[in-house]
Amino acid sequence: MNIRVGFGYDMHRLEEGRELWIGGIQLDYPMGLQGHSDADVLIHAICDALLGAANLRDIGYHFPDTAPEFERIDSKVLLRKTVSLLREQQYAIGNIDATLCAEKPKINPHIPSMQAVLSEVMQIPVDAISIKATTSEKMGFVGREEGITAYAVALIEKR
């Protein structure tokens, strides 16, 4: 059995005038995350975890923030392309375990919707996607409500 584990981390600054996309869904919040794409911090961390597990470098390598074709792109497209890269290397996704860190908005009510969307995009069962939410207890840039971070671990298996 050839299994691998990868770790992903991402952070984005909150800014006014942007939509807030996390886990493939839009949240109703007066600020969004700053970035070249839609800045979906959770999807970006998951992509990095998957790419790292397969030793395929990172999200910035495959989808650079200097490339005009990725400007304002829906991060679900990036995740689909990431899953395709893994499948080309004969890897299947075992499970994802992720944590979002934000003071606001509250993430917990949205977790089932995020799991459903990510399950469809990655073509894996909903119960293979764990998403947890926490705060930073008012410490650091997350605590000051300046940004949101996400951490993800992915297990993949060679077919």
36 DSSP 8-state letter: S
Three-state SS for 102? coil
Q: Could you read off the pLDDT of 28-86 as tens digits, one per residue?
A: 999 999 999 999 999 999 999 999 999 999 999 999 999 999 999 999 999 999 999 99
Domains of the chain are: 3-158 (3.30.1330.50)
Q: pLDDT at position 129, please?
A: 98
Query: The tokens of 105 are what?
Result: 């908005």
Q: Could you read off the pLDDT of 127-151 as tens digits, one per residue?
A: 999 999 999 999 999 999 999 999 9
Q: pLDDT at position 1, please?
A: 73
